[in-house]
């Protein structure tokens, strides 16, 4: 409201200034009245000079007038009337013989014309400048905020929600601009929440896809045992009915085993596709008992013979229980798949220098197998995403196991090292609280 009133007051002032200028121009120059006594005396003196025999040209120069005698062109007389000159009868002997013309106002007219033109130009320039100021005020206070809002709307349409809309003190659309900027902030926050929810959903899918591998492997191993037992039973049986039952159980076990392969392949595809879209993997480390790590190893099944050489030192470590379980499953699962030997596990407490060059205490979990290990040229690559070494040919997997091991351990504040030592050795480091 106050800006509308201000613009209205500015417009009224401009119009009042224009009115004052017009009043000044239309007033003009105040003319003085003619002294007719003077001109009557002049006409008498002109008559005496004429009767004395002076020439008309001399008399005109002497008295500053124009003498037009009868019979001469009347055009000069008509021009004098048109220019408001003083025209008087010339009768030196009592009889009118012509006219005497005093052009005493044409100079004033010319001067007034110059004054009028100059005043008009000044007035026009003043109105022009005032109009520019008025337009500038309208543009600054009314049009600029709308342009800024239009520009922000264009950026929002492009998906750019990081461009703030300036909120100025003297803005007639202050409330609207503030509301528009709040809408932008809310859209940005909503997009961020949507992205976080989408990422959390993908992480959940990735976790489920990865964790399903363990029970599926258990089912497959159980089916393989059932198949072997049924094959041995079929070899011993002779009765037709018993053979039929045994073959039926064998077919079902083989069918279940086949379905577990299908499930495993599908979950690997889901896991790979989901991880490709994740920007980062969340790891939430908390203070946990180190004994939980030892318990993970004791609860592992279907990975061959796992030998715990000692007990883990009792202490608190920084750990994400879910991620640590996935790490152990990946490390032991890889050793079982590629080495097929007993797996030795040892726990040690040691001091190490961290990245910020400070000393810290760690629990080292060393997992060792007696297999062929990894070719030396492939060791630096095993923790890269989707890398599969030469030993992986013909075996299932997508090349994410050791990548996740290294990623999860580092995000828990520790680390992982992989090297050959008469077999493959994987050292996992958990930082002690």
If you average pLDDT over residues 203-222, what whole number do you get? 70
If you average pLDDT over residues 370-380, what whole number do you get? 89
User: pLDDT: is 256 or 178 the higher one?
Assistant: 256
If you average pLDDT over residues 163-185, what whole number do you get? 67
Percent of the chain topping pLDDT 90: 18
pLDDT at 1 over 50: no
Give the pLDDT band of residue 173 (cuts 50, 70, 90). Answer: low
Q: What is the pLDDT of residue 290?
A: 92
pLDDT at 153 over 90: no
CATH architecture of the domain with range 286-431: 2-Layer Sandwich (3.30)
Q: What is the pLDDT of residue 271?
A: 65
- How do residues 49-83 score in pLDDT, each as one tens digit? 989 889 989 998 889 899 998 888 788 888 888 87
Give the pLDDT band of residue 274 (cuts 50, 70, 90). Answer: low
Tokens representing residue 276 in the block = 């490709």
Q: What is the pLDDT of residue 361?
A: 93
Domain boundaries, the chain: 36-104, 173-282, 286-431
**Mean pLDDT across the chain:** 79
Give the pLDDT band of residue 342 (cuts 50, 70, 90). Answer: very high
pLDDT at 326 over 80: yes
The Cα 167–Cα 151 span in angstroms is: 14
Q: What is the pLDDT of residue 429?
A: 95
Q: What is the pLDDT of residue 275?
A: 60
User: pLDDT: is 347 or 194 the higher one?
Assistant: 347
Find, among 248, 242, 427, the residue nearest to 348 by Cα: 427
Give the pLDDT band of residue 166 (cuts 50, 70, 90). Answer: low
pLDDT at 31 over 60: no
- How do residues 256-265 score in pLDDT, each as one tens digit? 877 777 777 6
| Cβ–Cβ under 8 Å, residues 319 and 286 | yes
If you average pLDDT over residues 382-390, what whole number do you get? 77
Cα torsion through 304, 307, 313, 319, rounded to 10 = -10
User: pLDDT: is 398 or 292 the higher one?
Assistant: 292
If you average pLDDT over residues 145-150, what whole number do you get? 72
pTM summary value:
0.44
If you average pLDDT over residues 89-116, what whole number do you get? 79
- How do residues 106-147 score in pLDDT, each as one tens digit? 666 666 667 777 877 787 788 788 778 877 777 777 777 777
pLDDT at 94 over 60: yes
pLDDT at 9 over 60: yes
Q: What is the pLDDT of residue 15?
A: 72
If you average pLDDT over residues 225-242, what whole number do you get? 80
């Amino acid at each position: 409201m106050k800006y509308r009133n201000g613009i209205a007051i500015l417009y009224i002032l401009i119009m009042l200034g224009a009115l004052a200028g017009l009043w000044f121009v239309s007033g003009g120059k105040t003319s003085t009245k003619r002294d007719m006594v003077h001109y009557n005396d002049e006409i008498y003196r002109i008559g005496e000079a004429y009767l004395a025999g002076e020439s008309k040209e001399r008399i005109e120069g002497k008295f500053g007038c124009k003498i037009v005698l009868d019979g001469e062109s009347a055009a000069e007389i008509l021009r004098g009337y048109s220019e408001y000159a003083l025209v008087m009868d010339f009768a030196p002997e009592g009889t009118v013989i012509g006219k005497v013309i005093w052009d005493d106002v044409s100079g004033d007219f010319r001067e007034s014309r110059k004054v009028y033109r100059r005043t008009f130009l000044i007035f026009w320039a003043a109105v022009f400048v005032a109009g520019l100021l008025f337009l500038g005020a309208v543009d600054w206070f009314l049009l600029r905020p709308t342009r800024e809002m239009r520009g922000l709307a264009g950026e929002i349409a492009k998906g750019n929600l990081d461009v703030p809309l300036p909120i100025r003190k003297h803005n007639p659309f202050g409330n609207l601009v503030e509301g528009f900027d709040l809408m932008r902030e809310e859209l940005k926050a909503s997009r961020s929440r949507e992205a976080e929810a989408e990422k959390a959903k993908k992480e959940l899918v990735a976790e489920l896809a990865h964790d399903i591998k363990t029970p599926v492997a258990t089912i497959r191993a159980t089916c393989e045992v059932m198949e072997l037992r049924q094959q041995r039973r079929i070899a011993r049986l002779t009765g037709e009915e018993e053979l039929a039952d045994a073959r039926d159980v064998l077919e079902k076990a083989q069918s279940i085993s086949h379905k577990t392969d299908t499930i495993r392949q599908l979950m690997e595809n889901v896991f790979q596709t989901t991880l490709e879209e994740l920007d980062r993997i969340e790891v939430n480390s908390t203070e946990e008992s180190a004994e939980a790590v030892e318990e993970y190893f004791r609860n592992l099944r279907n990975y061959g013979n796992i030998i715990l050489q000692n007990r883990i030192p009792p202490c608190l470590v920084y750990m994400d229980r879910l991620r640590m379980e996935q790490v152990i499953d990946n490390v032991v699962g890889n050793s079982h798949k590629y080495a097929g030997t007993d797996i030795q596990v040892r726990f040690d407490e040691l001091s190490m220098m961290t990245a910020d060059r400070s000393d810290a205490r760690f629990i080292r979990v060393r997992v060792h197998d007696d297999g062929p290990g990894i070719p030396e040229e492939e060791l630096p690559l095993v923790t890269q995403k989707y890398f599969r070494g030469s030993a992986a040919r013909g075996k299932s997997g997508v090349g994410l196991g050791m990548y996740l091991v290294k990623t999860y351990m580092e995000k828990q504040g520790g680390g992982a090292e992989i090297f050959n030592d008469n077999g493959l050795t994987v050292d996992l480091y958990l930082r002690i609280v």
